[in-house]
Structure 1
Amino acid sequence: MSAPIGIKDLLGGKVAVITGGAQGLGLAIAKTLVNSGAKVVLGDMNAEGVAAAATELGGDSVAVGAVCNVVDLAAVQALADIAQEAFGGIDIWINNAGITRDATIRKMTEEQFDQVISVHLRGTWNGLKVATGIMRAQVDAGTHTGGAIVNLSSISGKVGNLGQSNYSAAKAGIVGMTKAVAKEVAFKNVRVNAIQPGFINTAMTAAMPEHVIEKKLAEIPMGRPGEPEEVASVVLFLVSDLASYLTGSVTEITGGRYM
């Protein structure tokens, strides 16, 4: 699956904000949403990368890139302000930004633990706080009928990975946060869902030793890694009206791993 999946006009000019959007899953999601009629605002720490990604997606008429540190609530609010100024509102928010600082608990430093927890958990909370506030206000103003948010968890948050006590804890926390916030904003027709990708074919997984890749593939009933576009297609479903009665859900995208 080499081309981004997209259903033309499914999103009908809706505006999406995607954190960590300069590369990897974030960029794949952005491509799929744009191919389905959305306009996107990408936030990322990589200034050059996020600018290039916005240009690749079609430039200012459909995509804007901005530097954003999701750990900083003011920076996340500034990202939202850019989206509102550029495209008039926010319909979709994807909390995708993330990092890894892998080490066994014996070797992991406090800094490595705190960095991962901050980017994933605090970053997702910041995104939820800003996005739900804007979406609720839009509903109250009568300019929008609701909103959709997708949080990026991981199968690591379900089963735990050796050397990832920080990452696994953060990704598990995102599931609880998703369900809590979904309950708080459902009455405004703001939906909050999460996905848990498994072994996905990205630059990070491609760099793994061959024996590690083989071991992981042996655990997948479908016998192959997933593609970023396959993750993006699930996000597309969740943010579209096709999922209008779905909130607080956690969707595993794993090829059957850990059933």
Structure 2
Amino acid sequence: MSTGLVAGRLALVTGAGSGLGRAACQVLSREGATVIAADKNYDSVVETIKKHTALASGSNDTEHSAVELDVSDSSAVRNLVQTILKQYKSPPTIIVNSAGITRDNWLLKMSEEDYSLVQNVNLKGTFLVMQAFAKAMTEASLPGSIINISSIVAKYGNMGQTNYAGSKAGVIGMSQSAAKELGKFNIRVNAVLPGMIDTPIVKTVPEKVMQGMLRMVPLGRLGNPTEVAELITFLGSDKSSFITGASIDITGGW
């Protein structure tokens, strides 16, 4: 019998092929959850399961699963619900919406395509996954926890990221609204707002810009993806049973 903060729970993590999503799979499995890792890049989620998740949980990788998913495709999201119900006989009760992309540019130079791509994945994708899986939980009369990954730029903005900051601000508003609607089903919804975390997205930031940003972080360093994953896992557990509709900064004080 596995022990841990989320022992016996089934968790779905989108954007699980790298960064925060991969770290969330690792910590959730370490704390006893069975993990379904979803990402548009199937090979990367297979690696997440084989090299990170199964090892973290001390189990073989057969109980966990890797799935290919484009979160912005509503039929793909609906099909995934059915696939999971067939395989596990129950919907996941921890949902981590971590799929996200950037297409940075100055406002005056940004293409409509780059604006729309970011909204479709970061905002609409979060909406589609949240809607489909909250519906599955209510139909199964199961309590649950949805953790949506926003960003600290949702609060303060960031140069070159009007599309990204807008999408992540939308995630906060959407999470707060969903929390109000889903509370009666005992489904909690919270948003996590990471600052500068050592992920592939941050590696695209030029070194000079990075040094300037780090000077604004009182703790003086980048965050580790695992530190964010620990918060995600706490929000997925009964330890956070009275927390819903919250937006929690994890920024080193930035």
TM-score of the two chains, using structure 1 as the length reference: 0.91
Partner of 1:72 in structure 2? 73
Once the two structures are superposed, what CA deviation does each residue of 1:87-139 show, in whole Å capped at 9, x if it has no partner?
23211111110110000011110000000011111101101111110111111
Partner of 2:226 in structure 1? 229
Equivalent residue of 2:217, what SS?
Answer: coil
Trace 1:1-259 onto structure 2 (pairs within 5 A).
8-56=3-51, 57-58=53-54, 60-89=61-90, 90-139=92-141, 144=142, 146-257=143-254
Identity between Structure 1 and Structure 2 (%):
38
Structure 1 pair 165–135 and aligned structure 2 pair: CA distance change class (3 A): same
2:252 aligned partner, one-letter code? G
Structure 1 pair 103–228 and aligned structure 2 pair: CA distance change class (3 A): same
**How many correspondences in the alignment?**
246
State whether residues 217 and 252 of structure 2, in contact with CA within 8 Å, keep that contact through their aligned partners in structure 1: yes
How far apart are 1:8 and its partner, in Å?
4.3
Tell me, which stretches of 5 or more residues in structure 1 are unaligned? 1-6
TM-score of the two chains, using structure 2 as the length reference: 0.93
Equivalent residue of 2:170, what SS?
Answer: helix
Give the 4+ runs in structure 1 shifted more than 4 A. none
State whether residues 151 and 195 of structure 1, in contact with CA within 8 Å, keep that contact through their aligned partners in structure 2: yes
State whether residues 16 and 40 of structure 1, in contact with CA within 8 Å, keep that contact through their aligned partners in structure 2: yes
State whether residues 55 and 63 of structure 1, in contact with CA within 8 Å, keep that contact through their aligned partners in structure 2: no
Structure 1 pair 226–35 and aligned structure 2 pair: CA distance change class (3 A): same
- Aligned-residue Cα RMSD (Å) equals 1.4
Tell me, which stretches of 5 or more residues in structure 2 are unaligned? 55-59
| Partner Cα distance (1:160, 1:122) in 2 | 20
